[in-house]
Structure 1
Amino acid sequence: MTTENPNSWAAEAIRQVEGDGRHLTPTPLRPLSLSAIPDVEIYVKDESAHPTGSMKYRLVRAMFCEAIARGAIRADTPVIAATSGAVAIAAAHLMIPVPDAASIAALRWLRTAAGIEAGPATGTNFWGTCHLVARMREAGARGSIVTIIGDTADPYRNTHLDPAWMAARGLDPTPYEAEIERFARTGEWPAG
């Protein structure tokens, strides 16, 4: 059993968790040009630049600091973190239906057309972004949209970026890639 003052432990733990992020520079915000749609600017916020390659890095740091500060985590508290890794996909799916093959098509398009190495959550975000840009264009609206690069491509090289893996699961991103390419070229987005 420890005799350390719990407040001293908490202060030091928060200092260490917060300190882990102090060396980080802000994640880049990069323009993504779709020449067919000049009235709507698209920017991608590259949260995959974090040490973990995930947008969840800031969130988890904040959750730990808050839990330590309110006493939910103490020096003797075991911490088990469980995640499905699909928070962004689930959130986007509630608003705009995104087929799995469309997420893959979008991450592949980002890779080849924009040089952005991203995973399927980012593909889902980009598919939804295209949908929103198309809605803005149809309404005659001008403006900007910021989307997030929430995951890197590295963990998906043997899955979502592997043609054999996709074929084994019946995923064909080709028609969706054609839709994104047509959208980038003409501004026309599929109805629905």
Structure 2
Amino acid sequence: MSISPDRSAPAVTGATHDGERDWITHALALLRQEAARSADTHLLKLAFAGFPGIDFYFKDEAAHPTGSLKHRLARSLYLYALCNGRLRAGQPVVDASSGSTAISEAWFASLLGLRFTAVMPACTAPRKIAEVEALGAHCDLVDNPAMVHARAAWHAAAGACHLDQFGLAERATDWRGNNNIAESILGQLAGEPHPEPAWIVCGVGTGGTSATIGRYLRYRGLRTRLCAAEPAGSAFVHGWRDRDRGAVCSRPTVIEGIGRPRVEPGFLFEIVDDVVEVADVDSIAAMQVLERHLGRRYGGSSGTNLVACLRLATRMRAQGERGSIVSLLCDPGERYDATLANPDWLRRHGLDPAPVANALHATIETGRWHPSGSAA
């Protein structure tokens, strides 16, 4: 069934309305079936020599069918749109994304038989653009990253359903449970030596993941603290410190998916206990460190998370604390073959991760923070 996206179309008849509800029921069934088929992601454990008594866990969100943490969010956004009457049969779908969310949203659009447009900054990693297009979606590339929201709104005004990850992420996911990422982490830790982690670390791209985790920790009455790992100078860093929702980014970042230029609606300052700023070169170096320890490549935001984990662990060690730290592996490193993992690209951008990688390895071995010369 196909319904015109023209908002001036006449009201539907009762028979058409019944058919529309039938389609929504079918679409929801498809999403439930997909969720049941998707096994939970692995929680990988690392023990670092310099941190006896402190266990490190990394939840491998790159194992999702669409290869990233955003698979959960995309499913939730489609469920939210369907159950709120915002998405109709045959209606085109649009969202603004730097790549990983767009890949996941395109995959679900294909599952539901819908046309999807991803509004993306033109500087997005080429591999991500190719993956969106391979799923049959269209990429609307915008030269100015600050204009992606306005461009997505333009598509919505023409009749598309705007999934609006930045506006709706923190409310589309059920933070009380329903196998959200926080519930999954704590369930997997139940039999571990430190089942109630000292810290959970994540970035705040849309704010949805941090909002879900922070709320769930309070809902469960846990003492676990939440740390935001962010590129240096991001809007969230400035906004969190000053409780200023008008804060903007003071330094652009090459780490895609986090380090937003503005404070997004889903950013909840009050549930974040600490923020660790990470220089871009440190995040890239940490990508290489992760590959050495896990045998797989992960993206830049996963590197950002690792640096923040090590900063927290050195603080815990200095204070004689034991416990566990949990973070996320957000997407696969292969998506950055032409950028963050490309030596020529790094040279052109004046980024040399080798000294930082050496310093991070030294921190892992000694349990003390080894400055690398980079400045957050």
Normalised by the length of structure 1, the TM-score is 0.91
Of residues 147, 154, 157, the one that matches 2:334 is 154
Q: How many residues align?
A: 192
Rounded Cα–Cα distance in structure 2 between residues aligned with 1:152 and 1:73: 30
- Structure 2 counterpart SS, 1:97: strand
Rounded Cα–Cα distance in structure 1 between residues aligned with 2:31 and 2:294: 34
Report the AA paired with residue 278 of structure 2: V
Rounded Cα–Cα distance in structure 2 between residues aligned with 1:14 and 1:139: 50
Rounded Cα–Cα distance in structure 2 between residues aligned with 1:114 and 1:60: 27
Q: Give the structure, 1 or 2, with the largest relative contact order (CA under 8 Å, sep 6 or more).
A: 1
Which segments of structure 1 move beyond 4 Å, counting only runs of 4 or more?
none
Show the 5 A alignment for 1:14-29. 14-29=28-43
Within the alignment, does 1:84 sit opposite 2:98 as a pair?
yes
Within the alignment, does 1:129 sit opposite 2:266 as a pair?
no
Deviation at 1:172, TM superposition (A): 1.0
Within the alignment, does 1:50 sit opposite 2:67 as a pair?
no
- Structure 1 counterpart SS, 2:277: coil
8 A Cα contact 2:362 2:370, kept in partner: no
Of residues 37, 52, 60, the one that matches 1:38 is 52
- Structure 2 counterpart SS, 1:170: coil
Report the AA paired with residue 57 of structure 2: Y
Report the AA paired with residue 51 of structure 1: P
Report the AA paired with residue 70 of structure 2: K
Rounded Cα–Cα distance in structure 1 between residues aligned with 2:49 and 2:94: 46
Deviation at 1:116, TM superposition (A): 3.1
Rounded Cα–Cα distance in structure 2 between residues aligned with 1:83 and 1:134: 34
Q: What RMSD in Å do the two structures reach over aligned CA positions?
A: 2.1
Rounded Cα–Cα distance in structure 2 between residues aligned with 1:65 and 1:31: 32
Point out the more displaced range, 164-173 or 90-99.
Answer: 90-99
Report the AA paired with residue 67 of structure 1: A
Within the alignment, does 1:167 sit opposite 2:347 as a pair?
yes
8 A Cα contact 1:89 1:124, kept in partner: no
Tell me the residue number matched to 2:278: 98
Rounded Cα–Cα distance in structure 2 between residues aligned with 1:9 and 1:65: 13
Deviation at 1:85, TM superposition (A): 4.7
Rounded Cα–Cα distance in structure 2 between residues aligned with 1:75 and 1:37: 54
Show the 5 A alignment for 1:66-77. 66-77=80-91
* 1:106-153 Cα distance to aligned partner (Å, 9 max, x none): 000111233132010111111111111112112221111111110101
Q: Unaligned stretches of 5+ in structure 1?
A: none
Pair 13,4 (structure 1): closer, same or farther in 2 beyond 3 Å: same
Give the percent of matched residue pairs that are identical in Structure 1 and Structure 2. Answer: 35
Pair 146,58 (structure 1): closer, same or farther in 2 beyond 3 Å: same
Of residues 18, 22, 25, the one that matches 1:11 is 25
Rounded Cα–Cα distance in structure 2 between residues aligned with 1:70 and 1:89: 25
Report the AA paired with residue 50 of structure 1: H
Deviation at 1:11, TM superposition (A): 1.2
Of residues 291, 300, 303, the one that matches 1:111 is 291
Of residues 298, 316, 323, the one that matches 1:143 is 323
* 1:142-177 Cα distance to aligned partner (Å, 9 max, x none): 111111110101111221111111011001112211
Greater strand share, structure number: 2
Tell me the residue number matched to 2:74: 60
8 A Cα contact 1:120 1:160, kept in partner: yes
Rounded Cα–Cα distance in structure 1 between residues aligned with 2:33 and 2:290: 33
Rounded Cα–Cα distance in structure 1 between residues aligned with 2:325 and 2:99: 24
- Structure 2 counterpart SS, 1:81: strand
Normalised by the length of structure 2, the TM-score is 0.48
Point out the more displaced range, 14-23 or 29-38.
Answer: 14-23
Q: Unaligned stretches of 5+ in structure 2?
A: 4-15, 101-165, 167-202, 206-227, 231-236, 238-274
